[in-house]
Structure 1
């Protein structure tokens, strides 16, 4: 018996690799996952009554705090502006594949308009997680960006899985 796995589920599994609950953020000798990644594939999942955060055709991952912190700029579709999302870098563990350079997790809560044409104020939880691996001479980014409205107990969520390559 074979099981069919959808591309979004596969991408989500890849992006969560190395980000398990038992992992702790890197504290020293953190892996270098920074770089500019050209986005090759995106897969949105979910539909809500707000415009979810987006990514551009290229994304830049920046590291700070001696490599422990990470910054990813996402696009606020209501304001048509970039917004920084910050988080932590995770080093690969002994159980991870040798190609894995490192991973990241970031979360934020923000208040903004539901969309460009809907000025209702909404509180949204925004999170991103992903991995950076080496494939030959290239770096491969596999990640997810999730926007969730927790107001009223609805918990409506839109997830954008994406992959890209960089140097």
Structure 2
């Protein structure tokens, strides 16, 4: 028996790690360990031809989890999906396909079944989630500056909270 392990790590990010290293926001040594092979995958909005295949895959995946038959997309629905810019990339597409499986009772999905944001791109977008800095400030205020309570409220470790406070240049209460 060998006491050696042979494995590979695949790491993905939407961040510009070389810039973050240069600005001391990411460890240089860690960057060099994980950057053996790099490739850029363009955002989904730049790969519209991939959307129908991905959508059908996500529909099949969600249908299998729900114990249902995967619905098909009409040509008009596929075209509407391809025209949408997908700011949340493949995660957003997956979430929308999961919702369609759960809420569309038919075996075929047409444009009328699609979310308003896709069907009517002129409709006002849903309110944006507050950014992380704002969420931290709100949690600190709601916890009267108690860092343990703030971390619990955010669902993160206290040490992570301190790191984020430093990264955002926030003042801790009493400092």
TM-score scaled by length of structure 2: 0.21
Instruction: Give the structure with higher Rg (CA).
Output: 2
| Structure with the larger helix share | 2
| Structure with the larger strand share | 1
> Larger RCO: Structure 1 or Structure 2 (Cα < 8 Å, ≥ 6 residues apart)?
1
